[in-house]
Amino acid sequence: MLVKEITVLSGKGGTGKTSVAASLAVLTKSAVMTDCDVDAPDLHMLLKPEVLEKQEFKASRVAVIDDDKCVQCGKCEEHCRFGAIENVTIDPVLCEGCGVCAYVCPVAAIELEKRVSGYAFISKTKYGPMSHALLNPGEENSGKLVSLVRKNAKKIAEKENCELIINDGPPGIGCPVIASVGGVDVGLIVVEPTLSGIHDMERALGLLSHFKIPALVCVNKYDLNEENTSKIAEYCGSNGVEVVGKIPFDPIVTEAMVAGKSIVEYSPESRVSKAIEELWKQILKQI
Amino acid sequence: MTDFKEKGGGKEVNARIVIPVSDDKGIDAQLSQHFGRAPFYAIIDLDEEGNVIGQGTIANTSEHFGGVGLPPDRILQLKPKALITYGLGPKALRVFQNAEVAVLRTEANTVKDVVKAYNNNELQELTHGCHQAHHH
Amino acid sequence: MIITVASGKGGTGKTTVAVNLSLSLENVQLLDCDVEEPNSHILLQPEIHETEPVCTKVPVIAEELCDYCGKCSKFCAYNALFVAKETIMVFPELCHSCGGCSLVCPKNAITEKNRQIGVIKKGEAKGVEIVYGELNVGEAMAVPLIRAVKNQMKTDKNVVIDAPPGTACSLVASVHKTDYCILVTEPTPFGLHDLKITVQVLKDLGVPMGVVINRAGLGDRKVYEYCEKEKIPVLLEIPFSKKIAELYSRGVPFVAEMPEWKEKFLEVSDMIKR
């Protein structure tokens, strides 16, 4: 059984990815949801998952100096390329666990220890299963944790016979975003009609095209600047990308968030909810 | 990626086969549906008698990238004699054919079965590429 | 003084605050460390004087010296090297440039070459010097480019750093060795949730902080209650205003059209110095 996968991304932060993703979860009621924004996840605030399984995520190591053995020669500091050793003291936040310091230490005073970088969760919600995670603050390897979240989601989809996985993507275009779009059927970019938003959308489209992933665009708060909304439609048109949705601005979305609900649950008759329903219809035509 | 395990006392490699697989168990791995989208590649070194004298696995996707895939020229860096798969895309097929790497078809499920079939010359050449994974 | 503007959540107004603050102070250097999606140049509209490529180092194997012993691959913590009989492969996109493989190779078969990951651009507008980085699309790691941007820092100037969203390694690299951090948030549940995570990171790093509440008026009071409880000063409130939103959508920093805000940003800077 072929499971379809969509990732909601934006390039720019705060455009409404999570609000849209949560609404899609409610509308389909049969997808496996994932929150791939592992350092600042928000989807759980709208979907209220019950955690069934918690996995430790151990992706990196940290170097530790045994002060009893250390002779303060400074060779470790000389070779560390990450600036993590100052005054022969290791800063665990900057340490990338490469092992070079341990290798060059003449008295074997340095050991590399595995550290827990975060946790992955497998949960259930009112609208279906959910795979999410939390990266410990300051950690790297967010891409690896995103890959684990997606691996868990695929396992769940197979077990529960779900035909669709919807990934709530992180902001940016770097490591965790790349990990959240690899191999998906569609990347849905949510963009706001601002100059910054358009700039970032172009880079996000570049990312999807670099990895040969079909792109769809949805303009959020489109009526805040209809001129820019037209610019977006033009840009997409000339690049062969379809604009599949336009959502109006409405403070009721924030109200819904404060109430801990997705907008389509909080106010199903609102213009925003109707726009999202229409968006979903258009997306279904494409996958 | 798992380190390459060698045995057989430094014997000459007669044939290196690359096979798309869905896990990192090397010689014990299960085949994956489509060459390009396989999560791993098993690398099997055979001597003149068809004995396995080396085996390893590389990831087709890096853990950062979650499903992107290595382009065919990277696979060529492994210096394979043959690729054995259910199917692969037409562009990739051309790259391997031009590099004089044999691309062979199989219906088998495990690497062990594929190696057996290869040694018995039971495998036929794959003559055209397909565009997506589907059940064979 | 070095001030970083950060937030946990994206889209709260970091760049808005960083740019408007820079335009309100004297002798400023603005470093945009959001190398994946740099936006400050869109608001500032600088004339770019210089563009420099930024590279990391990746291993080059001299195969004629290599005997495929595999020591480099065993050492590599990032699976960037694969060794089999008569075969060695490098995966440069996984390489962290630690230099370890070159050190451990018993045959001295490994040297390093440069691999471009992006560019830095330097420019100036309205008395503000700006440096920003642009990560090549498809590159996974932002931190080496963030370090390159920060290496351009001029400590004799008032430095304002526009940080990327999030709470992971990119943020930590941006905030490293800053004197103060302004956290920009919105008074909503997502804003508060992500703010709390960022506050924890800064506390662990020992960085003094203050909060700017953007789009005040939308949402609820929980952010204010949280700041009071944690004794984090609220430096400024920017009300939700269609005029400000409209100026932003056109790429105009609002201190340019609403000069009373210059005073307010100057006050923020004074509050921080105290």
Kindly state whether B135 is in contact with chain A, defined as any CB-CB distance less than 8 angstroms.
no
- pLDDT higher for A24 or B26? A24
Per-state percent for chain A, helix, strand, coil, to nearest 5: 40, 25, 35
Nearest CA in chain C to A253: C219
Distance CA A83, CA C177 (A): 12
Kindly state whether C199 is in contact with chain A, defined as any CB-CB distance less than 8 angstroms.
no
Amino acid at B121: N
Distance CA A33, CA A24 (A): 9
Residue of A190, A265, A198 whose CA lies nearest to A7: A190
Kindly state whether C249 is in contact with chain A, defined as any CB-CB distance less than 8 angstroms.
yes
CA distance C169 to chain A (A): 5
Q: Which residue in the block uniquely carries the two structure tokens 């938003």?
A: A197
Give me the mean pLDDT over the A209-215 stretch: 87
B-chain residues within 8 Å CB-CB of C83? 3-4
First to last CA, chain B: 28
Asked if residues C72 and C110 have their Cβ atoms less than 8 Å apart, the reply is: yes
Q: CB B63 to CB A178 under 8 A? A: no
For chain A, how many residues are written? 287
For position C250, what pLDDT does the model report? Answer: 87
Nearest CA in chain C to A181: C138
pLDDT at A1 over 70: no
Distance CA B78, CA C89 (A): 8
For position A272, what pLDDT does the model report? Answer: 96
Q: B91 φ, ψ to 5°?
A: -65, -45
Q: How many CB atoms lie within 10 A of CB A219?
A: 31
Residue of B50, B55, B119, B126 whose CA lies nearest to B84: B126
Q: What is the ipTM of this complex?
A: 0.85
| Closest CB from C75, C165, C168 relative to A140 | C168
Residues 57-76 of B with CB under 8 A from C: 58-59, 62-65, 74
A171 CB contacts (<8 Å, ≥6 apart)?
Answer: A10, A11, A12, A13, A14, A17, A37, A177, C10, C11, C37, C165, C166
Residues of A near B (Cβ–Cβ under 8 Å) read: 143-144, 146-147, 150, 175, 178-184, 211
Q: CB B67 to CB A180 under 8 A? A: no
For position B66, what pLDDT does the model report? Answer: 45
Distance CA B50, CA B136 (A): 27
C129 CB contacts (<8 Å, ≥6 apart)?
Answer: C28, C29, C30, C122, C123, C154, C157
Alpha-carbon distances of C150 from A133, A148, C168, C196, C231, rounded to whole Å: 30, 32, 17, 26, 30
Asked if residues A183 and A5 have their Cβ atoms less than 8 Å apart, the reply is: yes
Per-residue pLDDT of chain B (136 residues; tens, 9 = 90+): 566 777 766 678 889 999 998 888 888 898 987 787 777 899 999 999 899 999 988 877 554 444 456 778 888 989 999 999 988 888 889 999 999 999 999 989 999 999 999 999 999 998 877 765 444 3
A-chain residues within 8 Å CB-CB of B61? 182-183
Distance CA C34, CA C162 (A): 7
Amino acid at C257: E
For position B132, what pLDDT does the model report? Answer: 54
For position B133, what pLDDT does the model report? Answer: 46
* CB-based burial label for A53 (10 Å; 0-12, 13-18, 19+): exposed
C-chain residues within 8 Å CB-CB of A12? 10-11, 37, 39
pLDDT in tens, A229-240: 999 999 999 999
Q: Which residue in the block uniquely carries the two structure tokens 């439609």?
A: A233
Secondary structure (3-state) at A56 = strand
pLDDT in tens, A241-250: 999 999 999 9
Kindly state whether B124 is in contact with chain C, defined as any CB-CB distance less than 8 angstroms.
no
- Summary mean pLDDT of chain A: 93
Secondary structure (3-state) at C195 = helix
Q: CB A178 to CB B64 under 8 A? A: yes
Asked if residues C202 and C174 have their Cβ atoms less than 8 Å apart, the reply is: no
Secondary structure (3-state) at C22 = helix
pTM value is 0.84
Distance CA C189, CA A41 (A): 12
CA distance A7 to chain B (A): 13
Asked if residues B85 and B37 have their Cβ atoms less than 8 Å apart, the reply is: no
Residue of A138, A141, A167, A140 whose CA lies nearest to A152: A167
Per-residue pLDDT of chain C (274 residues; tens, 9 = 90+): 999 999 988 889 999 999 999 999 999 999 999 999 999 999 999 999 999 999 999 999 999 999 999 999 999 998 889 998 888 999 888 899 999 999 999 999 999 999 999 999 999 999 999 999 999 988 888 999 999 999 999 999 999 999 999 888 899 999 999 999 999 999 999 899 999 999 999 998 999 999 999 999 888 899 999 999 999 999 999 998 888 888 888 888 888 888 888 888 888 888 888 7
Amino acid at A200: D
- State the pairing for strand pair C158-162/C2-6: parallel
For position B68, what pLDDT does the model report? Answer: 53
CA distance C188 to chain A (A): 6
Q: CB B68 to CB A183 under 8 A? A: yes
Q: What is the 3-state secondary structure (H, E, C) of chain B?
A: CEEEEECCCCCCCCEEEEEEECCCCHHHCEECCCCCCCCEEEEEEECCCCCEEEEEEEECCCCCCCCCCCCHHHHHCCCCCEEEECCCCHHHHHHHHHCCCEEEECCCCEHHHHHHHHHCCCCCECCCCCCCCCCC
Alpha-carbon distances of A285 from A244, A278, A280, A282, C111, rounded to whole Å: 10, 11, 9, 5, 52
Q: Which residue in the block uniquely carries the two structure tokens 């275009």?
A: A173
Nearest CA in chain C to A100: C100
C-chain residues within 8 Å CB-CB of A195? 42, 249-251
